[in-house]
Structure 1
Amino acid sequence: MKMNSEKVRFMNISVLGCGRWGTFIAWYVNKVGHNVTLWGREHSINYIRLKETRKNDYLSLPEDIELSNSLYKAVSSAKIIIISISAQELRSFACQLNSINEIQGKTFILCMKGLEATSGKRLSQVFGEAVGKNIDVAVWVGPGHVQDFVNNIPNCMVIGSENIETTKKIVQELNSDLIRFYYGQDLIGNEIGAATKNVMGIAAGMLDGLNYSSLKGSLMARGTRELSRLLRAMGGNDLTIYGLSHLGDYEATLFSMHSHNRKFGQALVQGERFEKLAEGVSTVRALRELSKQYDVELPITNALYEILFENKNAKDTLEDLFLRPVKFEFQ
Structure 2
Amino acid sequence: MNVSVLGCGRWGTFIAWYVNKAGHDVTLWGRQGSKNLQVLMDSRKNDYLTLPDEIELSHSLENAVTSAEVIIISISAQQLRSFAKQLSQLNEIEGKTFILCMKGLEADSGKRLTQVFSEELGKSTNVAVWVGPGHVQDFVNHIPNCMVISSENIEITKKIVQAFNSDLIRFYYGQDLIGNEIGAATKNVMGIAAGMLDGLNYSSLKGSLMARGTREISRLVRAMGGNDLTIYGLSHLGDYEATLFSLHSHNRKFGQMFVQGEDFGKLAEGVSTVKALKELSAQYHVELPISDAIYEILFENKDAKKTLEDLILRPVKFEF
Q: Under a length normalisation based on structure 2, what TM-score does the superposition of the two structures give?
A: 0.99
**Other-structure match for 2:83:** 93
Aligned positions, number: 320
Separation (CA, whole Å) in 2 of partners of 1:182 and 1:52 = 36
Separation (CA, whole Å) in 2 of partners of 1:289 and 1:320 = 23
Aligned: 1:215 with 2:205: yes
Q: 1:324 to 1:161 in 2, by over 3 A?
A: closer
Q: C-alpha displacement at 1:324, in angstroms?
A: 4.3
**Other-structure match for 1:110:** 100
**Other-structure match for 2:138:** 148
Deviation track 1:97-130 (CA, whole Å, cap 9, x = no partner) reads 0000111110000000000000000000000001
Q: How does 1:40-189 map to 2 (within 5 A)?
A: 40-189=30-179
1:37 alignment partner, SS class: strand
Amino acid at match of 1:49: V
Aligned: 1:252 with 2:242: yes
**Other-structure match for 1:12:** 2
**Other-structure match for 1:192:** 182
**Other-structure match for 2:193:** 203
Question: Given that residues 42 and 48 in structure 1 are in contact (C-alpha distance below 8 angstroms), is that contact kept between their aligned partners in structure 2?
Answer: no
Separation (CA, whole Å) in 2 of partners of 1:299 and 1:18 = 36
Q: Which moved more, 1:105-114 or 1:41-50?
A: 41-50
Deviation track 1:113-162 (CA, whole Å, cap 9, x = no partner) reads 00000000000000000111111000000000000000000000000000
Q: C-alpha displacement at 1:326, in angstroms?
A: 1.9
Amino acid at match of 1:187: L
Aligned pair partner of 1:296 in 276, 286, 302: 286
2:127 alignment partner, SS class: strand
2:63 alignment partner, SS class: helix
Separation (CA, whole Å) in 2 of partners of 1:309 and 1:271 = 15
Amino acid at match of 1:139: V
Separation (CA, whole Å) in 1 of partners of 2:301 and 2:31 = 35
Separation (CA, whole Å) in 2 of partners of 1:146 and 1:122 = 24
1:281 alignment partner, SS class: helix
Separation (CA, whole Å) in 2 of partners of 1:323 and 1:62 = 53
Deviation track 1:254-278 (CA, whole Å, cap 9, x = no partner) reads 0000000000000000111101110
**Other-structure match for 2:218:** 228
Aligned pair partner of 2:274 in 258, 265, 284: 284
Name structure 2 gaps, 5 residues minimum: none
Separation (CA, whole Å) in 1 of partners of 2:101 and 2:256 = 25
Q: C-alpha displacement at 1:248, in angstroms?
A: 0.3
Separation (CA, whole Å) in 2 of partners of 1:46 and 1:275 = 16
Separation (CA, whole Å) in 1 of partners of 2:313 and 2:124 = 49
Deviation track 1:214-266 (CA, whole Å, cap 9, x = no partner) reads 00000000000011111000000000000000000000000000000000000
1:101 alignment partner, SS class: coil
**Other-structure match for 2:19:** 29
Amino acid at match of 2:235: S
1:120 alignment partner, SS class: coil
Separation (CA, whole Å) in 2 of partners of 1:296 and 1:202 = 21
2:92 alignment partner, SS class: helix
Q: Which moved more, 1:308-317 or 1:43-52?
A: 43-52
Separation (CA, whole Å) in 2 of partners of 1:71 and 1:178 = 29
Separation (CA, whole Å) in 2 of partners of 1:12 and 1:76 = 10
Q: C-alpha displacement at 1:323, in angstroms?
A: 2.3
Separation (CA, whole Å) in 2 of partners of 1:125 and 1:46 = 28
Separation (CA, whole Å) in 1 of partners of 2:310 and 2:192 = 17
2:217 alignment partner, SS class: helix
Separation (CA, whole Å) in 2 of partners of 1:35 and 1:117 = 35
2:147 alignment partner, SS class: strand
Q: 1:163 to 1:324 in 2, by over 3 A?
A: closer
